[in-house]
Amino acid sequence: MAFFKFITVSFALFGFTWVYNLCSYEYAAYYYSEGFNQNSLDDTAYGKQKIIRLQDTILQRYAGIFVLDTDPSQRIVISLKNNRLSIVNNDWNKIILPGSETLFFENSQVQNSYNFVLNPKTKSYDLIITCAGIKFKMRKLQ
């Protein structure tokens, strides 16, 4: 069950959006202003990370069902909706933002990254999730 430790929880309080990272056990606060969307692709620089725009044809490469190498019963579904990648499992749903063509992140304060790597054997993309320095390798089901 270690795979689910990279979940973040967010809530609004005192005009801020608070994000609690279950990996690093830290809080981060984002000031709320009218029209601000945490995962907005209109903001070219989001905190420490830079957001880029990718075409749907590139994002579609990463859509599918992924299973954890060490425990295939742990799976996530990545789908493309409105030019964004959404990750869903039974317990949570999140949007990941592109920092490059293959590297994605949740937001600038959470140190989780999602790196899509081409598997030469299957010709599809595997996923490496890095959470607090720990890497979880997931393979895409065909």
Q: Are 23 and 112 in contact (CB under 8 A)?
A: yes
pTM over 0.95: no
- Per the DSSP assignment, residues forming a β-bridge with 30 are 17
Evaluate whether residue 35 is within a structural domain.
no
pLDDT score recorded for residue 48: 60
Any domain includes 65: yes
Report whether 124 contacts 140 (CB < 8 A). Answer: yes
CATH of the domain at 114: 2.40.128
Note whether residue 25 is domain-resident. no
Longest CA–CA separation in the chain, Å: 51
pLDDT digits (tens, 9 = 90+) for 109-118: 667 899 999 9
Question: In whole angstroms, what is the distance from residue 39 CA to residue 121 CA?
Answer: 34
Owning domain of residue 91? 42-140
Residue type, 125: Y
Domain tally, the chain: 1
